[in-house]
Amino acid sequence: MNLLDPNFLFASLVWSSIGAGYWIYGKRQQSLVAMLGGVLMIVTSCFVPSVLWMSLLCIGLMALVYFLLKQGS
């Protein structure tokens, strides 16, 4: 895992920023699903060494949060 790879740094910045946005949204709306999704995105962007897998996991988490919020959770 090369932490100084520019692609890894940029992808980590993007996905953790979106995760922080989800966490803030969940906290303000008192939505546990959005808060947990945000925390999982932040953790994923820190600990998954591959840019491809990080992106796929974060997109999957975004889709899961969207689906769960539409279901009324």
Number of other residues whose CB lies within 10 A of the CB of residue 49: 11
The pLDDT tens digits of the residues spanning 20-64 come to 999 999 999 999 999 999 999 999 998 888 899 999 999 999 999
- At 72, the pLDDT band (50, 70, 90 cuts) reads confident
> Which residue type occupies 47?
F
Contact by Cβ (8 Å): 42, 17: no
- At 1, the pLDDT band (50, 70, 90 cuts) reads low
What the block records as the tokens of 26 is 């969940």
What is the predicted pLDDT for the residue at 4?
A: 80
On the question of pLDDT at 3 being above 80, the answer is no
Predicted TM-score (pTM) of this structure = 0.88
Q: Residue ranges of the domains in the chain?
A: 6-71
